[in-house]
Amino acid sequence: MIRLATVQFTPRLGEREANLEAIQKLLDPVEAEVVILPELCTSGYFFVTREVLAPLAEAPGGVACVFFQRLAEAKRAIIVAGMPEVADGLFYNSVFVFRPGVPEPLIYRKAHLFYKERFVFEPGDTAFPVIRDERLDLSIGIMLCYDWRFPEVSRVLALDGAELIACPSNLVTDAWRKVMPARAIENKVYVAVANRCGTETRCGETLLFKGCSAVYDSYGEPVALAGADGDRVLLAEIDPRPCRDKRFNEFNDIFADRRPELYGAICRKR
């Protein structure tokens, strides 16, 4: 069994050092082998200009990257954290994955930009990554918040071997609570949603983040749930081995039964 920590956290907008301090306090007492933090957990979310975002965006080796790499080494844990990234003068809404003994983080750049993110971030240009960790005997797929709306994302991750899909999030709707269990069922994987809570206001507009972080098993059943408010760490024991067998009776296998030759024809017609 693998101990999973899914963190619900309320970052302060534009206050990286304060956010890192708060994350440290939340995680100090936690013993886990995989830790998943929300989207943009080091910076806050609601940016409307690149000028405000720029001082908080990171490349590998930045302040938050050093912090999380040290945390990964100290806890011997995989740390999955959403942060703003800068690369070649462009900004991305990204997930950084830090692993003990691996000096460079893996980076996923958000493919599907939500609402006003398009005014400050570039659409992601990375593939959807699956991280294989032999020490834990676990494969982790990464998607980011609004990616949940696109079933292709979780399917691609599962086809590439993911047994746990980590979804750092800043969710402001409720529809995902119906759909995330379906993403788990249709791919027979665990899904962990690390959502933030609280509010942020820019230019007279306020966003309310819905919390309710959750871990769902491969049958779509919740194994850990948070409330709508308050910072907390959800702890869950997960066993990835059953996720490798995609059968659900003696005749049906959800991957072997696929008919991609027909799906392709439909896509070409439309």
Give the start-end residues of each E strand in 56-129: 78-87, 90-99, 102-109
DSSP 117: G
Which of 145, 167, 197, 243 is catalytic? The answer is: 145
**Distance separating alpha carbons of residues 27 and 231, to the nearest angstrom:** 11
**How many alpha carbons fall within 13 Å on the CB side of residue 64?**
31
Reduced to 3 states, what is the DSSP secondary structure of residue 80? strand
**Distance separating alpha carbons of residues 165 and 32, to the nearest angstrom:** 17
Which of 33, 39, 58, 117 is catalytic? The answer is: 39
Is 110 an annotated catalytic residue? yes
Which of 75, 110, 188, 210 is catalytic? The answer is: 110
Q: Pairing between strand 90-99 and 205-210?
A: unpaired
Of the candidates 26, 59, 58, the residue with the CA atom closest to the CA atom of residue 42:
58
Of the candidates 119, 117, 142, the residue with the CA atom closest to the CA atom of residue 132:
142
**Distance separating alpha carbons of residues 61 and 139, to the nearest angstrom:** 25
**Distance separating alpha carbons of residues 106 and 41, to the nearest angstrom:** 17
- For residue 245, the one-letter residue type is D
Output the six-digit token pair for 252.
């049906």
Is 39 an annotated catalytic residue? yes
Residues with a catalytic annotation lie at 39, 110, 145
